[in-house]
């Protein structure tokens, strides 16, 4: 069962890599709406495959990602374009040694859901009312100790030169300066940049990263290419594709981490299996020795050894009475 889970997630890895390639391909200014529709159609097919994998069943017909609810289909697409999880958070454990148990399954809630998107720490967004061509990056954390989870707004003011201000929810000014396309904007231990030409009043938001399931992340990407995302301009599409690629990377890393844990458990099972095989061979060898023993010959040999031992003891007793021993 654990091997089936690993092979299933390996298939997820391969699909996610292809979806990322398609997202990068879609982020090309020379593509038209028809081109993006073709890409969206392939992404939708991959999404269907991911949904099928998330509902993988073992040889007994049980869903391996349903937690302890093995007879309940864990993932279902709803009419609103979202995905419901009907499993639970349970894990199946088996005893592999004296007082040692190991999980042979993982619930879908921990594998396909609860994935921290954005860059893993925070996420970005461009205001839907923006009219410029500025696109904000997904950003990085340069000093985790200085990061303060909050919602921050970067506001652009265009004039002779374009300037920016960074404020938190309390409207406290945290950073300001003259805007340069691609230049770092740093505050509270993080760095982002904006490329393009923002218009006066354009705003960008930075907020703590949200949790999202993998299927919805892929569906959001498909929606962007289908014109169902926020904004229809080329700048809005580019922004959403950049965000989607960051979300895909986080999902891919999450699945990779799960596979690493599964690999550790598979190695533990292999080690325990080898130990049990060695013990079995030892027991079989001991049993074979007992079966092959000629008990009559063994008894005769033992009597001969006892007779020799008694003779040696008698000789030593006689020698001990000699004067040489008495003088020592």
65-112 pLDDT, tens digit per residue, is 999 999 999 999 998 889 999 999 998 888 877 777 888 889 999 999
The DSSP result for 247-297, as a single string, is: HHHHHHHHHHHHHHHHHHHHHHHHHHHHHHHHHHHHHHHHHHHHHH--HHH
User: pLDDT category, 308, cuts 50, 70, 90?
Assistant: low
Is the pLDDT higher at 139 or at 327? 139
Q: What is the pLDDT of residue 264?
A: 85
> Strands of 203-208's sheet, edge to edge?
122-126, 203-208, 152-157, 163-167, 173-178
Helix (H) or strand (E) holding 220: helix 214-225
Q: Is the pLDDT of residue 130 over 90?
A: yes
Yes or no: say if 119 and 15 are a contact pair by the CB < 8 Å rule: no
Distance, CA of 254 to CA of 75 (rounded, Å): 18
Reading the block at residue 309, the tokens are 């031992």
Mean pLDDT of the region 32-58 = 96
Reading the block at residue 314, the tokens are 């008698």
145-154 pLDDT, tens digit per residue, is 999 999 999 9
User: pLDDT category, 229, cuts 50, 70, 90?
Assistant: low
Residue with tokens 């890895």: 13
Reading the block at residue 297, the tokens are 């010959």
Q: Is the pLDDT of residue 231 over 90?
A: no
Yes or no: say if 211 and 115 are a contact pair by the CB < 8 Å rule: yes
Backbone angles phi, psi at 74, to 5 degrees: -75, -40
Q: Is the pLDDT of residue 322 over 80?
A: no
Dihedral of the alpha carbons of 103, 108, 114, 118, in degrees to the nearest 10: 110
The DSSP result for 294-307, as a single string, is: -HHHHHHHHHHHHH
Distance, CA of 273 to CA of 292 (rounded, Å): 28
Q: Is the pLDDT of residue 40 over 70?
A: yes
């Amino acid at each position: 069962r654990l091997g089936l889970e690993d092979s299933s997630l390996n298939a997820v890895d391969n699909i996610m890599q292809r979806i990322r390639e398609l997202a990068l391909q879609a982020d090309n200014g020379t593509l038209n709406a028809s081109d993006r529709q073709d890409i969206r159609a392939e992404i939708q097919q991959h999404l269907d495959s991911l949904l099928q994998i998330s509902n993988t069943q073992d040889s007994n017909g049980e869903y391996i990602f349903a937690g302890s609810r093995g007879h309940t289909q864990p993932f279902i697409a709803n009419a609103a374009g979202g995905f419901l999880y009907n499993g639970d958070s349970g894990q199946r454990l088996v005893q592999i040694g004296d007082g040692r148990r190991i999980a042979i399954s993982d619930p879908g809630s921990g594998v396909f859901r609860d994935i921290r998107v954005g860059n893993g720490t925070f996420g970005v967004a461009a205001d839907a009312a923006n009219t410029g061509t500025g696109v904000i990056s997904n950003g990085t954390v340069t000093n985790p100790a200085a990061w303060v989870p909050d919602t921050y707004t970067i506001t652009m003011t265009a004039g002779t030169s374009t300037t920016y201000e960074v404020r938190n929810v309390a409207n406290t000014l945290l950073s300001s300066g003259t805007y340069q396309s691609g230049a770092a904007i740093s505050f509270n231990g993080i760095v982002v940049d904006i490329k393009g030409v923002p218009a006066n009043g354009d705003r960008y938001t930075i907020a703590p990263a949200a949790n999202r399931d993998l299927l919805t992340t892929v569906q959001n990407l498909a929606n962007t290419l289908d014109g169902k995302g926020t904004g229809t301009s080329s700048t809005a599409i580019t922004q959403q594709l950049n965000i989607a690629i960051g979300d895909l990377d986080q999902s891919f890393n999450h699945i990779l981490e799960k596979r690493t844990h599964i690999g550790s458990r598979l190695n533990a099972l292999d080690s325990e299996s080898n130990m049990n095989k060695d013990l079995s061979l030892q027991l079989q060898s001991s049993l074979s020795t007992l079966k092959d023993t000629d008990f009559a010959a063994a008894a005769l040999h033992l009597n001969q050894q006892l007779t020799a031992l008694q003779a040696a003891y008698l000789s030593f007793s006689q020698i001990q009475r000699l004067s040489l021993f008495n003088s020592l």
